[in-house]
């Protein structure tokens, strides 16, 4: 079954999403939230790997992809409220929630806001550091990209994608590295000069505190070439009772460069919860 696309009306505008499988069937769907400044497209390859095995939904969060634009102050709480409203509008009750980088914080807040609906929380690349460290990261990464007739926005967007991710795509490229980087660059350009709206949201949000409030089972996943890998290790060490998984050689775009490795790992996780198997071991 091909990936389907649709819009759902929420407060503020229309939210765009991709889905595959029967999202109203017996299994609670696996919901994906993307990083800044990506879109639902970043999960297409992973969702295709899960086709016929588990239902999936991936949203374009506000200000990204084909979803509505907002001038509201950047806020993880706001993004989470919108996604929960969207899930309710499409009649999805319970769900597993997978967050990628910025999406990790969004997913954590969704778990806090809707504890009876979130079956499990799957963070990929958490911003698991102090607020002081978070502010230093913000100053380094969160900069607008003004549109110019000289095309500087095009060059800067590509430079960011190429240089900001010292992962496996550069020294040992994945077969689809060029396509993944191109897709990410296009998503950033689509987001416009304020592409960093999501960064402003995450870098004013206490992700460490939020994760401590998550009540459902947690499954930390990450590639060992991801710049956030040390933060992943820190989070895993803080929560040894929860499950974790590391993919050797995968980097920032783990879900796109290694979907054939990640899909069965996720399938094993969600299936084990459905079967009420023992939690907390390393997969």
Domain coordinates of the chain in residue numbers?
4-274
For residues 153 and 143, what is the distance between their CA atoms, to the nearest angstrom? 12
Task: Please calculate the CA angle 215-234-261 and round it to the nearest 5 degrees.
Answer: 80
The one-digit pLDDT tens for each residue of the chain (283 residues) are: 799 999 999 999 999 999 999 999 999 999 999 999 999 999 999 999 999 999 999 999 999 999 999 999 999 999 999 999 999 999 999 999 999 999 999 999 999 999 999 999 999 999 999 999 999 999 999 999 999 999 999 999 999 998 766 654 556 678 898 899 999 999 999 999 999 999 999 999 999 999 999 999 999 999 999 999 999 999 999 999 999 999 999 999 999 999 999 999 999 999 999 875 434 444 4
Class (C level, CATH) for 4-274: alpha beta
Token pair of 140 as six digits: 């380094």
Look at residue 170 in the predicted model and tell me its pLDDT: 58
pLDDT at 168: 46
The total of other beta-carbon atoms located within 10 Å of residue 64's CB is: 27
Dist. CA 278–CA 272, nearest whole Å:
8
Q: What tokens does 198 get?
A: 């999501």
Q: In what order do the strands lie in the sheet with 118-124?
A: 4-10, 13-20, 56-59, 30-33, 95-100, 118-124, 219-223, 243-247
Q: What does the alpha-carbon distance between residue 24 and residue 245 come to, in Å, rounded to a whole number?
A: 28
> Cis omega (within 30 of 0) on the bond before 205?
no
Cβ–Cβ < 8 Å for 70, 12: yes
Q: What is the pLDDT of residue 153?
A: 97
């Amino acid at each position: 079954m091909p990936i389907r696309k649709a819009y759902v009306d929420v407060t503020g505008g229309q939210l765009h999403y991709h889905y595959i499988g029967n999202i109203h069937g017996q299994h609670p769907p696996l919901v994906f939230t993307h990083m800044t400044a990506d879109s639902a497209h970043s999960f297409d390859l992973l969702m295709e790997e899960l086709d016929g095995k588990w239902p999936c939904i991936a949203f374009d969060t506000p200000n990204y992809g084909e979803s509505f634009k907002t001038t509201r102050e950047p806020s993880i709480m706001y993004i989470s409220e919108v996604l929960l409203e969207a899930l309710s509008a499409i009649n999805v009750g319970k769900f597993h929630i997978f967050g990628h980088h910025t999406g990790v914080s969004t997913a954590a807040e969704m778990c806090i806001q809707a504890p009876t609906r979130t079956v499990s929380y799957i963070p990929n690349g958490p911003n698991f550091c102090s607020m002081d460290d978070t502010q230093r990261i913000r100053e380094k990464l969160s900069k607008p990209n003004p549109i110019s007739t000289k095309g500087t926005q095009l060059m800067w967007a590509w430079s960011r994608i190429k240089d900001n991710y010292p992962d496996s795509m550069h020294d040992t490229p994945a077969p689809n590295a060029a396509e993944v980087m191109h897709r990410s660059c296009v998503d950033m350009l689509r987001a416009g000069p304020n592409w960093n709206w999501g960064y402003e949201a995450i870098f004013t949000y206490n992700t460490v505190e939020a994760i401590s409030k998550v009540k459902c089972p947690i499954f930390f996943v990450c590639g060992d070439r991801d710049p956030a890998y040390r933060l992943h290790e820190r989070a895993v060490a803080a929560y040894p009772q929860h499950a974790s998984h590391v993919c050797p050689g995968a980097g920032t775009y783990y879900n796109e460069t290694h979907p054939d490795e990640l899909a069965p790992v996720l399938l094993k996780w969600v299936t084990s919860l459905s079967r009420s198997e023992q939690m907390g071991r390393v997969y």
